[in-house]
Each structure stands twice: as C-alpha cells, then as structure tokens.
C-alpha cells in the first residue's frame, strides 16, 4: 500500500514492520526527550482492531501535537549515540564477511535489475515525458499547499482519449491553476 498509494510510513511504522533497527527521539520539551508527538505510539490497534501504531495523528490531536513540537527543541544527541552504537557493532565484525553477507542479500535484487535494466531505463525515459514530468513539476513548482496533480481530472481526460501533451499537463498541474481567494 505504501508503494502504490504513495502514503508514507512514519519512522515508528517502519520500525514496527522491521524496516528500521531503532527509533530514537530528537525532540526535547522542557529539557526531556519525548517520542514524536505527531504519531500514535500509545496503542497498537484502535477499538475496531485496526493497526494504528505509528500512524499520524489527525484533527485536534495533530493540532495539539504540532503545538508541542513548536514548544520543543531539536537535539540529535540520542540519534548520534544510536548511530555510533550501530557503527561500533559493525566495527566488531570481519569486514570481508560483512561485505559478503551484504552481497548475498543484494544478489537477488541485482539479478532482477540485470534482467530488467534496459526496459526499466526505457520506461523511465518515456514516463519522464508524461506522468513523472507532471508529478515532479507539480511537486517542484506547485504552490506550497498544493503540490499534486489533479489525478481525477487526469483519469477523466485520458478516458476521453486526450493525448499526453502540454495542454493536458497544464490542465492537471496546480502551478497553472488560478489561485482561489
């Protein structure tokens, strides 16, 4: 879901899913480190049994959390210590064995890449003329509060047989839309 819907995971979600080895706070409030107040960390599921640990808070809870962040200060002391601890663990391993282990883990990814790199490069080149071009330019050039193309309008125009051209690009891109007052 994170891949297809482009809904980012928080560090706490990635930690829970085993994608990260550690999560440490960098926010200090009143001289004390606190976990990210923007995410839910006090429970794993909601009242319906749906996974909520590490998800972004919403509405009033998010507003209160942002106020807490604004009142705090950023301090990387614990992050630096965690990184140094990981480095120390790696330091006490055999370097060639570590490299071999990493190579073995990456072998299947590299094998897949080698089988598909030509067509992937071709696809990327073509995509940069259409969807990726629109998406990157919207993110880069769109107004701060709206950096996404109008996906619904895009699908409607394509369903009508509209070709990918500059007219379509301008129609779906926020940087070309009139600012609503």
How far, in Å, CA of 133 to CA of 173, rounded?
10
Of 8-12, 32-36, 82-86, 157-161, the least confident:
8-12
Flag whether pLDDT at 133 surpasses 60.
Answer: yes
How far, in Å, CA of 9 to CA of 51, rounded?
13
Residues 84-104 have a mean pLDDT of 94
Nearest to 134 by CA among 118, 153, 107, 117: 153
Tell me what pLDDT residue 181 has.
Answer: 46
Rg (CA), the chain: 22
How far, in Å, CA of 78 to CA of 84, rounded?
10
Mean pLDDT of the chain: 92
Sheet holding 32-34, edge to edge: 32-34, 27-29, 73-74
pTM: 0.66
Residues 25-53 have a mean pLDDT of 95
**Between 77 and 113, residue with greater pLDDT:** 77
Q: Are 12 and 23 in contact (CB under 8 A)?
A: yes
């Amino acid at each position: 879901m994170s891949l297809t819907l482009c809904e980012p995971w928080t560090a706490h979600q990635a930690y829970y899913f085993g994608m990260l080895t550690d999560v440490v706070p960098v926010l200090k409030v009143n001289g004390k480190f606190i976990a990210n107040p923007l995410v839910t960390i006090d429970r794993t599921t909601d009242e319906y049994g749906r996974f909520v640990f590490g998800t972004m808070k919403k509405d009033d809870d998010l507003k209160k959390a942002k106020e807490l962040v604004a009142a705090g200060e950023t301090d990387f002391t614990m992050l630096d210590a965690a990184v140094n601890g990981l480095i120390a663990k790696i330091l006490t391993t055999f370097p060639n064995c570590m490299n071999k282990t990493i190579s073995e883990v990456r072998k299947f990814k590299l094998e897949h890449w080698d089988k598909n790199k030509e067509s992937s490069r071709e696809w990327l080149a073509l995509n940069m003329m259409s969807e990726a071009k629109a998406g990157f330019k919207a993110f880069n050039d769109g107004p701060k509060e709206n950096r996404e193309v109008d996906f619904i309008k895009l699908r409607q125009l394509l369903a009508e047989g509209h070709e990918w051209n500059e007219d379509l690009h301008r129609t779906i891109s926020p940087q070309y839309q009139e600012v609503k007052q």
